Chain A
Amino acid sequence: MRLRNAMLAVLTVGIALAALPWLLSDFLLALALSCIMYAGLAVSWALFCGATNYLSLATAAFFGLGAYVTAWGAGALPYGLSVLAGGMLAAAFAALIGAAVLHLRGAYFAVITFGLGELVRHAITYYEKAYEGTVGRIIAEAPETTTVYWTVLLVSAGAVATAFAVRESRLGLALRGIGSDEERAQTLGVNARRSKVLAFALSAFFAGALGAAMAVRWTYIDPPTVFNPFIGFQTVLIAMVGGAHTIIGPIASAVVFSLLTEFLRLQFPYLFLTLLGLLLILLVLYLPGGLASLIERWRIGDRWRWRRGNA
């Protein structure tokens, strides 16, 4: 029931957002695109990391891999197929590295996922130079902006719907158990390794698909552009500020952040980055559950008051 309502909400909002190309100027549509992309990235990141309390810095790697699938397939592969293939390549890569490093936790996992991302970037740089004789690629025939917008919207809506479905599923319960006490969850029958690899790959699928979908926005693609660590950090920050154990939190925070980034970065570039850093520090120190946990706290407080009032 809860799941059906959530799906209906995703569908309704998705359809409403699909109408934006007829309502917004090009500039505002580009802004909406950025909001929706970050919402998809943050929700899919939180799908795995929020429940399990893992800190993955591999988002940029998945995103970049997806983007390169589009670049490699340009001219040969239809846009829609590139997006699908980009997601699947990222998911396969995540399953592979996940199986190897998901037994690590905390800072070790964060550092190693970041390192693996760098490794992929360098590997692709090397491959392109050595075997293709190029440092970057030009995407000649990009689809219409509206096509890109609808594709990104579809992928992001898919990420949100998947996040809701996982939350209500046994996989979601297993992930929460793993986040709370992995060994205890195992002694109750959870195959922790399988659950983690599956969820990690699922979350990578959306990051890869978004990378593949967004790639055509840059006419020139090279590794530093699409494996930009900033995309990864921004995603983590958005999800954590919003509250990574929720779904609405990262969405709301993605919208606020993308708008702020756009306005502040143009007006006060240094101030913006300083503010970002400050926000992250405050968050980690005082509100590890993100802003969503504030609302929860307030709600629980409300319930207590209500109970006492009735007692």
Chain B
Amino acid sequence: MREALLSARNVSVRFGGLVAVDGVHLDVHAGELVGIIGPNGAGKTTFFHTLSGVLVPTAGRVVVAGEDLTGLPPHAYASHGVARTFQTPRVFKEMSAEDNVRFGLEFAGRTRQHPHDAFDEAGTILEFLGLADAAALPAGGLTPARQRLLEIGMALGARPRVLLLDEVAAGLSHAEVDATAQLIRRVRDQLGLAVIWIEHAVRVLMNYVERVAVLHQGAKIADGDPRQVAKDPAVIEAYLGEEGGAERKAA
């Protein structure tokens, strides 16, 4: 079996008495598009924080391409090829959209070359995301939906090997979600990235990923083929009372 590009080994995060992430194992390989779903407060974002070095896990290890990065600062993760978006966009507001994308290219992305090198310029990335017209505008002035797209552009600028997307489809219309999903698949196919995509709405993800993991109260309760996972009694249990009832029928 190939070595995983990203490997979370028994990762836990505690906030005082609260266990936000509870012993999660997750291996992701190059070219994989993995979804993570779970109700609000399940620990998805906190799990991403540990995968990007923003938070040091209370227990467990994070291994990237065979190298144990646990405890290192975020820039070490970035230079090993882990790039992420933030659920609430954290673009550099005063900088132009173009500089926001250029930022990753100048730092984490500087040492790595993509195999196809389609995304070696801020302009190309903005065009790909449909943000070309906003290139010179201050990022803080863009609509929230476009800032979320720009977040993806910033991460792509870092020339990732592993791309972590935190609820990039939130607040988008059905058509927009579909466009974003196509875009994510295209990036994955073109660059051979490992992509982990968090979404708390079940329906959004199930149609687009080949594998999905479910977090519930910090623990991973399922991981596998979306159709199998959707039928899993533990998952149905976890989503009961959430918006899940209707969503599951649709999926």
**Residues of A bordering B, CB below 8 Å:** 170, 173-174, 176-177, 180-181, 183-193
Contact = CB atoms under 8 A, between A and B. Distances in A.
Contact of B54 (A177, A187, A193): A187
A193 B94 CA distance: 22
Contact of B106 (A173, A180, A186): A173
B interface, how many residues as a size bin?
20 to 34
Contact of B107 (A180, A190, A193): A190
A224 B213 CA distance: 66
A304 to B, nearest CB: 12
B147 interface: no
B75 A189 contact: yes
Contacts of B108: 188-189
Contacts, number: 69
A180 B93 contact: yes
Contact of B94 (A180, A183, A184, A185): A180
A123 to B, nearest CB: 32
A188 B90 contact: no
Given A170-B106, A184-B86, A185-B103, A190 B94 contact: no
B65 to A, nearest CB: 16
A180 B84 contact: no
Given A184-B90, A188-B83, A173 B103 contact: yes
Contacts of B154: 184, 188
B52 interface: yes
A191 B110 CA distance: 13
B201 interface: no
Contact of B92 (A181, A187, A193): A181
A177 B99 CA distance: 10
B57 interface: no
Given A170-B107, A181-B92, 8 more contacts: A173-B106, A185-B92, A188-B104, A188-B157, A189-B78, A189-B109, A189-B158, A191-B73
A170 B104 CA distance: 11
Contacts of A185: 92, 103, 107
B218 interface: no
Contacts of B158: 188-189
A183 B157 CA distance: 16
Nearest to A181: B90
Give 3 nearest A-B pairs by CB, closest first: A189-B108, A189-B107, A186-B74
